[in-house]
């Protein structure tokens, strides 16, 4: 079955809309991802069904559950090969997406793929999250921060919440261990001015449990955070 068909059928099953223009972009994305993956290690998922479901549909689920107003600014922290950020940029060309990662070679690939997809609503940022979060040009400048498979929630909150404007959201995409991570992140969220507003739990097309955690930034984050990397890992909040 073609990747176009796999995307269309699974999108219908989970109740998300994918138009022809998005399908075309995702087809280019999958071809490029496979080609680049032979040169640098981007993803362990290399078959069409895996790419369609575990990367594309999984990323699009965020748009099913979270309403992102037109012209929002979103930062995807630890985007890797572009998940979920580049998929969101492809699906929502009215949203401006910053794709941040500490690995420059992955961002070069992401930029190349985004150009081939014909996208204009994105930029790449080669920096560690905890460094960018202390810079005025990025700190509290985004309506949304997203992250998938980067760090445990209490650490990730310190990376992501400083980017978010007051009343904006940090959207964390997690697997089956979400509840344990939420429990461990109670203090971090309090300290960083985040409040869990909703959690969406679903099965991703029979590929396993997923959770989307919607965390509201209720007031400005103290400038003490994010701390330097060594402190974050040695003494997570
Ligand atoms: N989000 C993508 C996904 O779900 O496929 C990539 C996940 S990959 C396992 C984690 C990525 O986060 C890597 O590309 C890594 O370079 C990046 N990363 C980890 N810690 C980071 C930090 N402190 N600042 C920026 N990027 C970071």
pLDDT of residue 191: 97
pLDDT of residue 194: 98
Q: How far is the CA of 213 from the centre of ligand 1 (A)?
A: 18
Going by C-alpha positions, the residue among 129, 70, 67 that lies closest to residue 94 is 70
Confidence of residue 66 (pLDDT cuts 50, 70, 90): very high
- Rounded to whole angstroms, the Cα distance separating 52 from 61 reads 12
Q: How far is the CA of 1 from the centre of ligand 1 (A)?
A: 31
**215 close to 196: Cβ distance less than 8 angstroms:** yes
25 Cβ inside 6 Å of ligand 1: no
92 Cβ inside 6 Å of ligand 1: no
56 Cβ inside 6 Å of ligand 1: no
154 Cβ inside 6 Å of ligand 1: no
Ligand 1 atom having least distance to the Cα of 132: 24
Average pLDDT over residues 177-197: 97
Q: How far is the CA of 14 from the centre of ligand 1 (A)?
A: 26
pLDDT in tens, 132-167: 999 999 999 999 999 999 999 999 999 999 999 999
Q: How far is the CA of 144 from the centre of ligand 1 (A)?
A: 17
Q: How far is the CA of 78 from the centre of ligand 1 (A)?
A: 3
Going by C-alpha positions, the residue among 179, 171, 110, 124 that lies closest to residue 145 is 171
pLDDT of residue 15: 94
Confidence of residue 108 (pLDDT cuts 50, 70, 90): very high
* Residue 131: C-alpha distances to residues 77, 84, 164, 202 (Å): 12, 21, 15, 34
pLDDT of residue 172: 98
pLDDT in tens, 198-237: 999 999 999 999 999 999 999 999 999 999 999 999 999 9
The closest residue, in CA terms, to atom 6 on ligand 1 is: 80
Q: What percent of the chain has pLDDT over 70?
A: 100
11 Cβ inside 6 Å of ligand 1: no
Confidence of residue 131 (pLDDT cuts 50, 70, 90): very high
Ligand 1 atom having least distance to the Cα of 130: 23
CATH class of residue range 68-234: alpha beta
106 Cβ inside 6 Å of ligand 1: yes
Going by C-alpha positions, the residue among 106, 88, 12, 3 that lies closest to residue 47 is 3
Domain boundaries, the chain: 68-234
Average pLDDT over residues 63-85: 98
């Amino acid at each position: 079955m073609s990747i176009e068909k796999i995307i269309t059928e699974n999108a219908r099953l989970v109740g998300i809309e994918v138009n022809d223009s998005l399908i075309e972009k995702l087809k280019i994305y999958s071809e490029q991802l496979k080609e680049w993956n032979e040169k640098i290690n981007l993803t362990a998922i290399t078959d069409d069904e895996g790419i369609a479901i575990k990367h594309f549909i999984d990323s699009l689920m965020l748009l099913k559950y979270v309403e992102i107003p037109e012209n929002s600014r979103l930062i995807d922290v630890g985007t890797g090969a572009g998940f979920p950020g580049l998929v969101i940029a492809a699906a929502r060309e009215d949203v401006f997406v910053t794709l941040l990662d500490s690995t420059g070679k992955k961002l070069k690939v992401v930029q190349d793929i985004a150009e081939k997809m014909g996208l204009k609503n994105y930029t790449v940022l080669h920096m560690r999250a905890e460094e960018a979060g202390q810079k005025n040009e990025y700190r509290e400048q985004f309506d949304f921060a997203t992250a998938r498979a980067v760090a445990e929630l209490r650490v990730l909150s310190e990376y992501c919440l400083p980017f978010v404007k007051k009343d904006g959201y940090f959207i964390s995409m997690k697997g089956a261990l979400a509840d344990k991570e939420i429990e461990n992140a109670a203090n971090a969220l309090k300290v960083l001015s985040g409040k869990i507003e909703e959690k969406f739990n679903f099965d991703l097309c029979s590929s396993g449990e997923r959770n989307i955690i919607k965390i509201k930034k209720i007031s400005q984050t103290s400038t003490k955070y994010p701390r330097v990397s060594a402190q974050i890992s040695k003494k997570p909040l």
